[in-house]
Amino acid sequence: MQSFADTLGQVFKAIAANKLRSFLTMFGIAWGVGSLLVLVGLGEGFRSGQKRNLARFGNDVVLMFNGTIPAIANQHTGMRPYQLTMRDLEDIRRLADVRAATPEINRSDLYEVSQWANTSSHVMGTDATYSSVRNIPVIEGRFIDQKDVDERRLVAVVGSKTANLLFPGRPRLGETITIDGTAFRVIGTVDKISRGDYDYDDRKIYVPISTMLQLFPLKGENMAQDALSSIQYQPAQKGEVIAAKAAVHRVVAKNHGFDPSVKDAFQEWDTVTEMKMMGAIFTAMDVFLGGVGIVTLGLGAVGIINIMLVSVTERTSEIGLRKALGATKRSILTQFFWEGLLLTGVSGAIGIGASALFMGVLQALLTGKMPGWDPPRLVPWSAAAAMLSLVVSGVAAGLYPASKAAQLDPVEALRREN
């Protein structure tokens, strides 16, 4: 009885006898596997990059802005504007569907001066809860606390770019800046938040909401003294905003005298819906790119089946001679099966290794270099799908030609010899 080692020896001899053909066949499989993994890794790179961008903004954050109430539902005529106020904020904070809410007043028409430089940044009035709702990575000092708000303190927390502009190469904590002529003491600085050339979040200066309302309230016709630019809140249930939005809509509609079912009256944006939308887009992208890769892999598998059938035809006389000398159907089946499986398995392993190496190089060279995008990385499920496809392809590429070879009649096989 032929041993497994003998079978493998014959397999390697058969492969070595047709080096170019074997190489081209294995290259097709390796290319298909590598394409599958790189394409899926590319889609996952976009997904993780966008997810990280939203995380830098804040987790589960809903931003509600001042809006306009249409005179007739779904009609953009006779719009009546309204402003969110501190009363809206307090009512929202009492809702069971909201776990945290924070105010924001945004003024970009104020002038900031230090003893070294001057600039015009975005002055934000807010309170102590802002740093828990939004991502505010303070690297020096502290953020605004409740005492700052209660006592209307003249303190400020500066963004990274504003800090560099006002205090170029100098200490910031404890220094003084003036905002439209009023002196503020710097109590903290924020690490870089923005990515790429969009530096809006790094050009902010945060001051207590009470101080902002007293010194720099929003300007405009019929503007309430405590008007806000926005209210930002987090739903009580993580990853789910429907109930929280509905509850907030009822509060705001009641306070400003309109029907909460008029959706056009609300101006808002949230990271939860954005994340779900991007997740659906990138999942569809993964499926599409993975499908392209699997089709490429399937073409390589068809190539192996074709090559193995050609090999059976070319070696008909050899098969007939072996069977005449006593080789069993099982030994013939085993040899051709392992030949197909080995071609598929080795080429697949090369494809996985080469794609992993390629993506590793991209990770090392491009990580953090392209805003909103991470370099492709090896995704476990795509590697598992590739391995499963290889197993199926290898079995198909081995069994069918092997069964054809095993069924040959030795006398008929010997007659075909030229």
CA distance 134 to 232: 9
- Pairwise CA distance, residues 247 & 237, whole Å: 13
Q: Are 184 and 193 in contact (CB under 8 A)?
A: no
pLDDT: is 189 or 338 the higher one? Answer: 189
Q: Determine the Cα–Cα distance for residues 107 and 341; give it in Å rounded to an integer.
A: 68
Contact 69, 236 (CB under 8 A): no
- Distance in Å from the first CA to the final CA of the chain: 30
Q: pTM value?
A: 0.69
Q: How many whole angstroms from its chain centre is CA 333?
A: 47
Give the residue ranges of DSSP H helices in 58-137.
Answer: 86-93, 130-133
Burial of 101 (0-12, 13-18, 19+ CB in 10 A): buried
* Whole-angstrom distance, CA of residue 84 vs CA of residue 90: 11
Q: What was the pLDDT predicted at 40?
A: 79
What ranges do the domains of the chain cover? 4-56+276-415, 96-238
Residue 418: what pLDDT?
A: 47
242 vs 348: which has the higher pLDDT = 242
Give the closest residue to 204 by CA, choosing from 221, 188, 215: 188
Q: What is the pLDDT of residues 283-312, one digit of tens each?
A: 787 777 767 767 776 776 677 777 766 766
Q: Which range is least confidently modeled, 13-22, 81-90, 181-190, 348-357?
A: 13-22
368: left (phi over 0), alpha (psi -120 to 50) or beta: left
Q: What is the mean pLDDT of residues 272-279?
A: 80
What pLDDT band is residue 141 in, cutting at 50, 70 and 90?
very high
Query: From CA 164, how far away is CA 170, in angstroms rounded?
Result: 8
- Among the listed residues 40, 63, 21, the one whose alpha carbon sits nearest the alpha carbon of residue 310: 21
Grade residue 12 by pLDDT with cuts at 50, 70 and 90: low
Which structure tokens are listed for 18? 């047709």
